[in-house]
Amino acid sequence: MIQIKNPTELKLMLKAGELAAQALAQAGKNAVAGISTWELDRIVNDYIVSHGGHSPCKGYGGFPGHNCFSVNEELIHGIPSKKKILKEGDIISCDIVAELDGFMGDNTKTFRVGKVSEEAERLMKATEEALYKGIEQAVAGNRVGDISHAVQTHVESYGYAVVKKFIGHGVGREMHEDPEVPNYGKAGRGPRLTPGMTIAIEPMVNSHFPEVNILGDKWTVVTTDGSLSCHFEHTVAITNSEPLIMTLEHH
C-alpha cells in the first residue's frame, strides 16, 4: 500500500527531513581522522534528541546503533564501534534517519576523511550524480522504473556496478514503506508516481562488482572483493511540479 501524504503530513515530513539533514551535516563535520564511528553515532544521536527527535534505527530489527556508518568497502549498515577509528584517506557513508512528530527523514552522504584517492573521488562523484539523475525523474506521471533506469545508466556509464540486493523505498510514518525503489531497471515500468508520494532514492554503488557479502555481525554489508563502495540518499516528495527534496538543511 503506497501511502499518499496530505499537505499537513508533507509539512511534518519536511521538518523531519530538515532535522535528518542537519544531523547528517554534523556527522560530516565530525568525520575526521582519529574519531571512532561510535563517537560519531553519539554526536549525531545527541543532536537529533536535543532537537526533539528520535533515532528510529536503534533497535530496528535488532540494530545496535542509532545510525549506520560504513567505511571504505562497507556499503551499508555499518555498526557504530569504538574499535572502528577513521583514518586519513577513508571514505565513510553516514546513513542518518531522524523521526520527528511521527514522521521520518532518511538521508545518506559519503564523506571524505581528509584527502582521498582519485578513485574514491570518482566513485563518489558518479554516485552523487546518479542520485540527482534519479531525483530528476521523480515527477508525477513517471514510473518508479524511470528513476531506477536513470540511476543505473549513469552509474554504469562510469563503469561502476549498481548493487541490486538493496534498494530505495517509500518513507513516511515508517522508515520503510511501499513502493520499492530499485537502483536498476527499465524505464516506464513499476508503480506510477503521484503527488503526495514520498520516497527515499538511494544509489548504492560498488567499484567493480554488484555482489555483496554480509559480515558475521549480521548487519555490515561489504563488497565481495574489498574494493570501495559508496552510498548517497535523499527523501523526495512527488509534487504537481518539480521533485521536492525533503532532506535539506534549510527549506
Q: Phi first, then psi: what are they for 54, rounded to 5°?
A: -150, 150
As a whole number, the mean pLDDT across the chain is 98
Q: Mind listing the domains of the chain with CATH numbers?
A: 7-244 (3.90.230.10)
The C-alpha cell at 42 is 553519539
Question: What's the mean pLDDT in 20-25?
Answer: 98
Say if residue 166's pLDDT is above 90. yes
Residues whose CB falls within 8 Å of the CB of residue 179, separated by 6 or more in sequence, listed in order: 2, 144, 169, 170, 190, 191, 197, 199
Residues 82 and 207: their CA atoms lie apart, in Å, by 27
pLDDT at 105: 98
pLDDT reported for residue 214:
98
pLDDT of 251 reads 82
Tell me how far apart the terminal alpha carbons of the chain are, to the nearest angstrom. Answer: 29
Mean pLDDT of 91-120: 98
Asked if 168 contacts 199 with a C-beta cutoff of 8 angstroms, the reply is yes
Place of cell 540527482: 132
pLDDT, tens digit (0-9, with 9 covering 90-100), for 199-251: 999 999 999 999 999 999 999 999 999 999 999 999 999 999 999 999 999 98
Q: Is the pLDDT of residue 183 over 90?
A: yes
Share of the chain above pLDDT 90, in %: 100
The pLDDT tens digits for 126-147 are 999 999 999 999 999 999 999 9
Instruction: Check residue 104 and give its pLDDT.
Output: 98
